[in-house]
A and B are shown apart, each in its own frame.
Chain A
């Protein structure tokens, strides 16, 4: 009987080790099916992007979100050249304001990949309480840094983290 108890112990220990090694608490980008601004279906876990990815949750009715994305827009070319980062702007606008997202995005000349999440499926899966909420993700889809809310200067901290991730 003791042997059996010992074996159970080792079994549970080895399961525990698995959990530890792969990190149960590593936040991965979940697979949610959305459409991009051109109506093309995308899977959030398989965007096929190279290099670091920034997911930024925003909405047209959220001024700080727009301030953040407009600020990054001015530096985006440099960011991309230096680190190969891609910014994915996830709009949580629902049907009330969703149709105006392309007007704003194109009007401002944003070069981001823009995804539409009108029923908050991706927002919920990522555990977003309020917008803006920004996640930095490595090439394996693991979240390595995140930040809720926006104050001018936050983009510098984000870029430091991007550079760290890109090994620059």
Chain B
């Protein structure tokens, strides 16, 4: 007995001594709570839930101590705010993991997020503002056996939903392996000539039992491919190609075609100048861990849309383009040039030009019998595009600074979107074309007070349909002209106030010439932020007071608190 007590004594003493050298670790995290009180507004498509009030909250708590890590997220939907999947409800643990990592091994059990290459083969990702979360629940192993070599392996089920305070995972199993090799680690002379090469390859497989009575479905579906990233001084060239085996699903109408996704970027940049050309080819590449899933659920991979993410309200919310996982060929060019100072005044004038275009793939029926039992419905190849336009966007902007405290940004956008494929509005068929102009003014009144204003106009909106002879004919308009004004007043570092009015003044229907007015105010102290919003909002990317987030259509009050620790 005495020995035992002495043992504790010694342990206690040594722990106190160790207190100087061992750390108790570090706890970090963040929280967010968003409350909405909503009114019904049939004109803008906003509804009032029977609870009237909605509340979303979550808190992340991460613990690290040396090589050990663990973390959890508590989520609460009482019930979920607008824009979140309507099946989310209850309070409970939304994520938890434990792991260990040193220089050559990193293992995580439980939930994790991960991406292979550019994500076109595998990406587990979250965006809490969007309600998007396809976290894996299982095991992840990352090995770095020698410098320049990295192997990742993942095995688990994806998060599908959050019901009754519990995470619901996918019916299907997802597993994969990815290897990456950085040649510079083996050939050090490459560094001295300014050459940098990284190669990679991945294999991802999903398993789901055949639960379909009509077809004999493949239960294991594989996708695989490779990638490269080459840099020579200021020139970069990278690309990835992924092939997917036949994967009949609700998305593709249970066809047995294989699929592919290819991405390539070529860029050059130096001080004051940058240019980037990108290309993408996608066919039948919707890949989900449950073949019956829809919406944004259970995507195993990520197919990035090839266009600029716009931030001005009218451009971002009226005609946003989403990627087409079933097929598109897209190209994009981006250029930034700084007119040096002294030519157009005291300050440099940056000019940014961007062009993106997307077409349907060209699908040949030659030699295909769609009535045979193969259920292979067409033939196509990478970058084989048709003349059927999905999207086109030309935009240009320039910033002019008058002095240290006053600037103006002028922007112009010319957008075409195929409303039959990328459904933006229920009111039209064919291709919607529009032009948007934005003028932004910023005036720093003194060290702390600042005013920013935006004047946006959407004009000349038309709808085209293709005639039998292939020519485009104007058939009508969507919602007509819009004007938007934004006024923002900030007092650094603690306060902001804003007002925005979107006015659909050109609507043919006089009853729908509506003002969408939102007023907002916020208080910020270090990592804490409290905001209040009242008014009508259209769906889209919404930026005010220094932060951007995605929101659905609503009419009412939104209160939000965020904190990071």
Contact = CB atoms under 8 A, between A and B. Distances in A.
A108 B350 contact: yes
Interface in A1-42: 3-4, 7-8, 10-11, 14-15, 17-19, 21-28, 30-31, 38-41
Given A152-B442, A157-B493, A103 B274 contact: yes
B491 A151 contact: yes
B492 A157 contact: yes
Nearest to B271: A109
Interface in B503-554: 522, 524, 526-529, 541, 543, 545-549
Interface string A96-120: 1101101111111100000000111
A35 to B, nearest CB: 9
B8 A8 contact: yes
B119 interface: yes
Contacts of B335: 103
B104 to A, nearest CB: 12
A87 B306 CA distance: 30
Given A64-B546, A150-B546, A120 B492 contact: no
Given A27-B26, A120-B125, A151-B496, A14 B12 contact: yes
Given A14-B12, A24-B25, A125-B28, A41 B278 contact: no
A130 B563 CA distance: 10
A21 B17 CA distance: 12
A107 B24 contact: no
B106 to A, nearest CB: 8
The 5 closest A-B pairs by CB, nearest first: A153-B492, A103-B274, A107-B336, A149-B546, A151-B490
Contact of A124 (B60, B263, B265, B306): B60
Contact of A106 (B16, B119, B271, B449): B271
A3 B30 CA distance: 42
B62 A127 contact: yes
Interface residues of B, number: 98
Contacts of A130: 129, 529, 547-549, 562
Interface in B1-47: 5, 8-9, 11-12, 15-16, 18-20, 22-30, 32
Interface string A59-78: 01111100100000000000
Contacts of B163: none
Nearest to B404: A74
Contacts of B306: 96
A82 interface: no
B350 A3 contact: no
A104 B493 CA distance: 27
A126 interface: yes
A97 B114 CA distance: 18
A42 B218 CA distance: 41
B24 A18 contact: yes
Given A27-B28, A99-B267, A127-B62, 6 more contacts: A14-B12, A24-B27, A103-B334, A132-B546, A148-B547, A152-B450
A39 B22 contact: no
B96 interface: no
Q: Which of B120, B338, B493 has the most CB of A within 10 A?
A: B493
B210 interface: no
A151 B446 CA distance: 12
Contacts of A132: 546-547
B388 interface: no
6 contacts: A39-B196, A61-B548, A64-B547, A106-B271, A125-B28, A129-B563
A149 B290 CA distance: 38
A129 B119 contact: no
A38 B196 contact: yes
Contact of A156 (B18, B492, B524): B492
A127 B30 contact: yes
A42 B548 CA distance: 28
Contact of B19 (A21, A38, A64): A21
A81 interface: no
Interface residues of A, number: 71
B337 interface: yes
Contacts of A95: 118-120, 263, 302, 304
B429 interface: no
A163 B29 CA distance: 27
Contacts of B249: none
Contacts of A103: 267, 269, 274-276, 334-336
Contacts of B83: none
B447 A153 contact: yes
B236 interface: yes
Given A62-B548, A118-B115, A106 B273 contact: yes
A22 B275 contact: no
B311 interface: yes
Contacts of A147: 493, 524, 526-527
A107 B311 contact: no
Given A94-B119, A148-B564, A64 B543 contact: yes
Contacts of A21: 19-20
Contact of B28 (A67, A106, A126, A129): A126
Contacts of B126: 120, 124
A118 B491 CA distance: 32
Contact of A30 (B20, B28, B196): B28
Interface in B247-292: 263, 265, 267, 269-276, 278
Contacts of B309: 60-61, 96-97
Contacts of B449: 153
A129 B123 CA distance: 20
